[in-house]
Amino acid sequence: MHRTQPLEMRINRRTLRSNKLKLKGFGNWLRASLTGPPPEFGGVPKGFTSDYAKLNKGQLSGGITCKSQQLPVPDPNSESIRCGLNQFSHANWPIFWTHHRNARLLGKSLVHIDSAGRACREAMHGPHAWSDPILASRSSPSPKILSGKWTSLISRWDYGVNYYHWVMDGLTRLCQLECLPSDTGILMHKLAKPFAREALAQLGLSERVRYVDEDHLLVEEYYFLSPTAISGCANPLGLSWLRKRFLNEKLTEVGTEKLFITRRAATRTVLDLELVENAFMRAGWTIVDPAKMNWDSQRLLFSKAAMVAGIHGAGMTNLVWVPAGTPVVEWMPSKFRNACYEGISILLGNPHHVMLCPSDNSGNLTIGLKTLDPIFKIFASIQR
């Protein structure tokens, strides 16, 4: 397919930004740890610790759901390899849960701190720990005390606001909920959008949820549910759980809908969006703006998809619901590459073509009408 950049792998702009955040995070932490109060009074953590290592050593109670996951090897020409984010290289990421008494949760990401003042590395998505917001600022000096049993779906990636991070980073943690006592409450951020609240209601969990905005909690009994994958990386167990819990078997049959996922957002805008939408409508496609749809509507519509084309963004998360064999084309800004959506297709065995589009440093892109004819020919050649 047509590409706008050389074929060799290059350093991804997201990787550079992540490294800058990690370096900044280290600087913030070092400055705050030298001059600020200790964690028990809202200061930054004294360092990192691993719940998984402690669990294996018998220093914590809990359980291990999966020590590692078997991941497919992406095609060398796939965006998952070319983008340079190594999103299929974390098969050894463990999925587990741990139990803590009188646990202290700090920061906007509500990371739990051990008795030595160290933050749980797995709660900070492992390699991304140094860019977690818990290191950037102090928390409230006095904690809000919660009695009883609680777990949390809040993290630096998930406040129930971004659809992708909610579905793949937050919601999937509930695959281990049955391991916990049945009276365990669930902490969510008060900013959580309707799609997050509706998903919990569909699981019958609404009565167990407490919506919080505090950045310092002291929890009588805290159950940590590890993320099922590092954010953005291949997540086979989480994906399988989502489809089992939210898709009726009949809805995963061959679909009939041709769906174009548009993007009308303040960031990573499409400069020729109206022209592109009109071209797809003339070709008989349905224009879909997931941002205007509720939880059920998105899930049900995409479960009937026969073909999907879309612009890189959270709306592409709905590939989680498409039938097996659904072909996908994704337009991606050349300077804002991320294969997280292609990763979903690879795990489902669905053909996924990424079209790199010229973009500025903010990810604003131009698709170009000339690139659409080959796409329509590809879809027309697919008999479903």
| SS3 track for 226-241 | CCCCCCCCCCHHHHHH
Tell me the CB-side half-sphere exposure of residue 135, using CA atoms within 13 A.
Answer: 24
Q: Residues 369, 276: contact at Cβ < 8 Å? A: yes
Give the tens place of pLDDT for each residue, 105-153: 999 999 999 999 999 999 999 999 988 989 888 999 999 999 999 999 9
pLDDT of amino acid 260: 98
pLDDT of amino acid 267: 87
Environment class of 31 (CB within 10 Å of its CB; exposed 0-12, middle 13-18, buried 19+):
exposed
Amino acid sitting at position 162: N
Backbone angles phi, psi at 96, to 5 degrees: -155, 175
pLDDT of amino acid 9: 40
pTM (2 d.p.): 0.91
pLDDT of amino acid 30: 74
pLDDT of amino acid 380: 83
Q: Rounded distance, CA 268 to CA 13, Å?
A: 14
pLDDT of amino acid 76: 95
Which stretches of the chain drop beneath a pLDDT of 70? 1-22, 31, 249-253, 383-384
pLDDT of amino acid 366: 95
CB count, 10 Å around CB of 185?
Answer: 18
pLDDT of amino acid 148: 98
